[in-house]
Amino acid sequence: MLFKQQVLLRQKLLVLGSLAIGSLLYLVARVGSLDRLQPLCPVDGRFGPRGQDEIPLRALQFKRGLLHEFRKGNATKEQIRLHNLVQQLPKAIIIGVRKGGTRALLEMLNLHPAVVKASQEIHFFDNDENYAKGIEWYRKKMPFSYPHQITIEKSPAYFITEEVPERIYKMNSSIKLLIIVREPTTRAISDYTQVLEGKERKNKTYYKFEKLAIDPNTCEVNTKYKAVRTSIYTKHLERWLKYFPIEQFHIVDGDRLITEPLPELQLVEKFLNLPPRISQYNLYFNATRGFYCLRFNIVFNKCLAGSKGRIHPEVDTSVITKLRKFFHPFNQKFYQITGRTFNWP
């Protein structure tokens, strides 16, 4: 009897062992085939002209891993050569507008596996000292990327700086230009709020928004105040149109990017001739922060800095009304030039 029980026990152990080995072999085979599986954001389209090679599936890994190390200067020339990485001049630039959502737009576009962003504002074209260093200096400020990826930088001061359109034109007359705008009065108040926060951090006093935005002598809108001037979008755009056709610009709705980002990003993908890769999976609303955060993959999420979404100070309603009335004719012209209408008051 005991002998039979021992035999049955050995048989059970053999069966369990076989099942365990089979499961282990299945997992090994499964892991070994991961490179052949579709990633969360599949990279199966061609990002360059027809006939060029596709970006490898491992581009996502390099983009989040090795490329980060290369940006920190932790790579040898041999490693860079082996991975076929280059520092490219940007094929698209977010030229403005300040406090329109330029950082959010750049970070969201970076969700696309064919896009590589410059992490810092370069201020090459709007800074005479930097511009004097030459185009090679500018190129070396760009991140490492695959040849078929698009490098994008953003410097919102470009939009309002007089010399910039001609300088960018001389670098690349066919470059794609992104402008993100918000309702002009809201944008001006946001501009003021950022400056105010900086003053308070240094324990300095600052004028109220109403005193800066309205000329005390005439009681009219103070067009010398930079926050107001920046919001006259059409005046700045007309200067750019002396060098670039309107087809090379794409206007992004900064207000909609806050509340409903995906449709805006899909329009940008189309403008940049990128295959659609950004999906609702990549964007999730963070109720604590009050705006959308980014999901790159199952383990890597990112929210914008806490300084984004500052609470604006209360502004006299009569001043808001006066500003909106002032901006109205400029807005109408902006709609006409760009072909995009916004529901601004």
The annotation places the binding site at 99-103, 182, 190, 292, 308-312
Residues annotated within a binding site for 3'-phosphoadenylyl sulfate? 99-103, 182, 190, 292, 308-312
- In the chain, the amino acid numbered 149 is Q
Q: How far apart are CA 307 and CA 317, in angstroms?
A: 25
Peptide bond into 97 cis (omega under 30): yes
Q: How far apart are CA 194 and CA 103, in angstroms?
A: 14
Given 4, 63, 99, 117, which residue is catalytic?
A: 99
Q: 30-55 burial, b if ≥16 CB within 10 A, otherwise e?
A: eeeeeeeeebebebeeebbeeeeeeb
Other Cβ atoms within 10 Å of 129 Cβ, number: 7
Q: Are strands 86-87 and 144-145 parallel, antiparallel or unpaired?
A: antiparallel
Catalytic residue status for 208: no
Given a contact cutoff of 8 angstroms between Cβ atoms, the answer to whether 251 and 257 are in contact is no
- Spacing of C-alpha 189 from chain mean position: 22
Other Cβ atoms within 10 Å of 106 Cβ, number: 20
Q: How far apart are CA 88 and CA 338, in angstroms?
A: 29
In sequence order, which residues have a C-beta less than 8 Å from that of residue 120 and are 6 or more positions away? Answer: 141
Q: Are strands 115-117 and 150-154 parallel, antiparallel or unpaired?
A: parallel
Tokens of residue 146, six digits: 């695959």
Tell me which residue has tokens 């596709």.
Answer: 54
Given a contact cutoff of 8 angstroms between Cβ atoms, the answer to whether 87 and 139 are in contact is yes
Q: How far apart are CA 325 and CA 254, in angstroms?
A: 21
Please name every residue paired with 152 in a beta bridge, in sequence order, or none if there are none: 92, 117
- Spacing of C-alpha 7 from chain mean position: 67
Q: How far apart are CA 215 and CA 212, in angstroms?
A: 7
Active site residue ranges = 99
